[in-house]
Chain A
Amino acid sequence: MKDKTIRRILGFFAVISAVLVVIAVVSVRNIKRSMTSSDWVNHTHATILEINGVLSSLRVGDAAVLTYVVTGDPQNRVASREAFSDVAEHLELAKALTRDEPAQHEELVRLETLVDERVEFSRDLLAARQSDKPDAVRTLLATDAGAEALGKIQRGVEDLTNEEMSLLDDRDRTSYVQAQTTRWTVWAGVAVDVILLGGVAWLISDDIAARRRAAAVLQEANDVLEARVRERTAALTSANERLTAENLERSWLNESQEHQLRYNQLIINSISDLVFVLTKAMNISRINPAVVRLTGFEAQDLVNKPFSSVARLADGDRAAGAALFDPIARALAEGRDLRDQPALVEDKNGRITPVRLMLFPLRDRDKVVGGVAILHLGQQSNL
């Protein structure tokens, strides 16, 4: 998206630059045309000036000649010569200025002939006055051969002036059109550039808006992600707390059971009577330290051995001890207690010790699973 926008913006600026170049080229060309037109206007004005200069200088010369004829003042004669000289000069300049305009140039050549006639007449008049020939002067003035030429010259000058004025109007219109063209070119170019710049501004604005939308979408996605992470973290934390609690509970259970077991063991071990825990088959599964002390057997010597191998009722015999008719086994099988029964214990060395026997069946949910035989050393042992 970013590259596409940049390419578009660059494209717009390229078009804007092209329009500016076109405006510059057209403007420079029109300025050149305007300068040319201006030169032409100046040229036309100069031509008109020179043509009118011919007429005015000719009139000045005529006036000076007539004044000289009347007054005989040499200054007027000099003035007339200067005026005629100016006439010639104006005429030459006018011809030079119309060199590229054949019709006007031809008209000026025709005008020059008339001017020459008028100048010739004035010279004749000056010569007659200078040679002091009043009759000749009078004759020349009476005929006034140059008067017709002067009229023609005046009309010719007016025609030329009108033509030049007409050209001037044409050139003014052309100049105006060029100026208008330049104005319209510049304004059209500026308008196009403004539109293009507007397009660029829109593109940039659109791009910024798109970026903002993308940022908002990204932010929203991040928020959702963060929320999920928070949820997941909370779930993990909760699971961890639950696990920790379970572990703690388990540890506590182990510890408390171990404590309880140890405590129970402690109670049993601290009893001075001989305690035998029996299986239902009358085999020894556990003893307390008092048994070891009296019999000399270690636990490993007695565990899983028949109880009858170390103890029996005093009125029973050893052979019957392991038999089905053993009253202790029978009592256990029937789930009966035996209390304060005389009995005998045989130690590791075969020594017999009389004791009082008690048997308590171990019940687990009303089912006899074994028994506890307690042999008390009390009075019997003292006998």
Chain B
Amino acid sequence: MTKHILIVDDEANVRDLLDRFLTGSGFRVTAVESADEAMRAVRQDPPHLIISDLQLEESDGLEMIAQLKSLLPDTPVILLTGVLFDPKVVREVLSGKVSAYLEKTSSLARILEEVKRLTGQ
């Protein structure tokens, strides 16, 4: 079965590149730019994985993730952000909120590796 991935990022280029890459890698992708759209998308078509930016235009990515988790508690989330966190922060703060933290400068191959790990593909 094709796994469904929800991408939340306010930058169109980032959304487009990730959409193309993951679709080309055999996933079904829904890409949205805001927390509201993400909530709607999750209700309409629950994803197997969520990839979210941290800093969205109208909301906080971590808050949005918490809301999404209330709807889909078992769905893994990757935080993909340009904000560089100290490993200690990642370990102590983020690990309880997201399944994985990736810097935006990570390669697509690295992102795919993490996506496959979390979707079991």
A residues in contact (CB < 8 Å) with B? 241, 244-245, 248-249, 251-253, 255-257, 259-260, 263
Contacts and interface: CB of A to CB of B under 8 A. Distances in A.
Interface of B: 11, 13-14, 17-18, 20-21, 24, 82-83, 103-109
Contacts of B17: 248, 251-252, 255
**Which of B13, B24, B83 has the most chain A CB within a 10 Å cutoff?**
B13
B82 A260 contact: yes
Contacts of B18: 252
A245 B21 CA distance: 8
A260 B108 contact: no
Nearest to A259: B82
Contact of B108 (A249, A257, A259, A263): A249
Given A245-B21, A249-B108, A259-B11, 5 more contacts: A244-B24, A252-B18, A257-B105, A259-B104, A263-B83
B46 to A, nearest CB: 27
Contacts of B20: 248
Nearest to A257: B105
A287 B103 CA distance: 26
Contacts of B107: 249, 252-253
A256 B104 contact: yes
Nearest to A251: B17
Contacts of B11: 255, 259
A357 B109 CA distance: 44
A255 B108 contact: no
Contacts of A257: 105
A252 B108 contact: yes
B38 to A, nearest CB: 19
B18 to A, nearest CB: 8
Contacts of A251: 17
